[in-house]
Amino acid sequence: MEKLIIQGTKSTPYVCFDQASDTFTIRGESYPENTAAFFTPVFAWLEEFLTSEQSQRLVLDFELLYFNSSSSKALFNMFSMFERFILQGKEISVNWRYQVDNDTVKECGEEFKEDAPDLEFNLVEIEKSSRSWTV
């Protein structure tokens, strides 16, 4: 399947879904002007990939520094979609990567994990990188 790459901006995350290199990553900040418009192609790609025969196992890395409430809704819907495919026999796991002092993102991960009990959801603490925001 054709890979999906969306370059990151200040308010939208970098997305890379590439089966060839086994890379499935969403990284950065997410507070798009139009959340539905941003996430529609992401959901469409995942839906097609998971429906195809070639995807038996999928491991995704999420490394978000900040996301707003409508992105939180989109992520919830994404994890619900994964649970739906797991019930159909797919193996899907999420690595929720958060920086060591970012309690907000850690707690959000804990809540997603509780709300998606059928999904293998790993909370992964990572080193604090240099601050991402520049002017």
Partner 1 sequence: MLTDLYEIYQQMLREKIIFCFSGPVSQHVVEGIGATLKLKMEVEDNDMNTIQKVFSIFVEQMQNLMNYSADRLSQEKAGGDLGVGIFVVGYKEGHFYVRCGNKIHNDKLNMIKDQVDELHNLNSDELKALYRKRRKEEVPDGSKGAGLGFIEMARKASRPIEIEYSTVNETLSFLSITVFI
Whole-number Å distance between alpha carbons of 56 and 58 = 7
CB 99, min distance to partner 1, A: 9
Of 3-11, 20-28, 44-52, 53-61, which segment contacts partner 1 by CB under 8 A? Answer: 3-11
* Residue 91 in contact with partner 1, rule: CB under 8 A: no
Binder of partner 1 out of 3, 115, 124, 125 (CB under 8 A)? 115
Of 14-22, 55-63, 95-103, 118-126, which segment contacts partner 1 by CB under 8 A? Answer: 95-103
Q: Is the dihedral of CA 123, 124, 125, 131 positive or negative?
A: negative
Binder of partner 1 out of 66, 81, 113, 120 (CB under 8 A)? 66
Whole-number Å distance between alpha carbons of 47 and 51 = 6
Pairing of strands 120-126, 91-99: parallel
What kind and span of H or E run contains 127? none
* Residue 102 in contact with partner 1, rule: CB under 8 A: yes
* Residue 103 in contact with partner 1, rule: CB under 8 A: yes
Binder of partner 1 out of 13, 24, 35, 46 (CB under 8 A)? 35
Binder of partner 1 out of 18, 68, 90, 113 (CB under 8 A)? 68
* Structure-token pair, residue 101: 């002092």
Measured torsion, CA atoms of residues 47, 107, 65, 61, in degrees rounded to the nearest 10: -40
Alpha-helical (H) ranges within the chain are 35-51, 69-87, 103-115
Which residues would be at the binding site for partner 1 (CB under 8 A)? 9-11, 31, 33, 35, 66, 68-70, 72-73, 76, 101-104, 111, 115, 131, 133-135
